Structure 1
Amino acid sequence: MHTAKALVTTDAPERYAKQLLSHLGRKNTVESIDGVPDGGRLVFAYGTGVVRPEPNQLVLEAAAPDVESLARVEEVLRRHLERFGARRELVVHWHSESD
């Protein structure tokens, strides 16, 4: 399994988490995360994406069985979050956690 993580600094992590999960959840399954009421796990056909608000940041985690699918999960989460946060100039930088 290939994984990557991004920490996005923002003063509204809960708002962006809710917006991202709601928007992407229209076409994908959203699973709840124990202990994280405003977060969730998106299940795509090609991988998964975790959206978890923390104080002053939004944590994004991507996982997929191959690098091409991982890049696809990363791109979907990045593109949508950066569009939602364009006024506040949110930028997503992924860091690989794979072996």
Structure 2
Amino acid sequence: MESVAVVATDRAERYGKQLVGHMSRKISGEWTGQSGYLDFNGRGRVELSAGADALKLELTSDDSETERLEEIVGVHLARFGSKDGMSVAWNRKSSEAGTVQGPYSEEDMKAFAEARKARQKA
């Protein structure tokens, strides 16, 4: 399945590089100049491209993985851009609706931080 998100931002290159840098600690990924990719080890792949006013994310995955991968990528990006009120809305090339992540409030960000601390203690 294919799903696309075009995220409005005047700092597309910065956010693309940050997303790939963060996620490539656990999966394959690379950022070069204005574009990059994230490879979820056979479950899916996201191609990223930075424009002057948006970051474009193009996800290709098995149908069973699409929603999960939209959420993983979208939550990370929306969290990075929380101070800018960033949201990520996915549009599937099929007739199904995609998922939406963000924008996240200050309270949401605190809850994410607390959940992370709890996971680290476990």
Fold shared by both chains (TM-score > 0.5)? yes
Could you tell me which of 73, 79, 82 is aligned with 1:77? Answer: 73
Structure holding more helix per residue = 2
Q: 1:18-47 deviations in whole A, cap 9, x for unaligned? A: 000000011111156xxx623211110321
Q: Which residue of 1 aligns with 2:62?
A: 65
The structure whose residues are more often strand, as a share, is 1
Q: Distance in 2 between matches of 1:38 and 1:83?
A: 21
Code of the residue aligned with 1:64 in structure 2: it is: S
What letter matches 1:92 in structure 2? Answer: V
In 2, Cα distance between equivalents of 1:52 and 1:25 = 16
Counterpart AA for 1:23: H
Report the CA distance between 1:50 and its aligned residue: 1.4
Misfit runs of 4+, over 6 Å: none
Q: Gaps spanning 5+ residues in structure 1: where?
A: none
Q: Percent same amino acid at aligned positions? A: 35
RMSD (Å), alpha carbons: 1.6
Contact (CA 8 Å) 2:21, 2:30: kept in 1 or not?
no
The alignment covers a number of residue pairs equal to 94
CA contact (8 A) 2:34 2:50 kept: yes
Larger of the two Rg values belongs to structure: 2
1:42-86: per-residue Cα shift (whole Å, max 9, x none)? 1103211112111100001111122x3011111111000000000
TM-score when scaled to structure 1? 0.87
5+ residue gaps, structure 2: 96-122
- If the length of structure 2 is used for normalisation, what is the TM-score? 0.71
Match of 2:3 in 1: 4
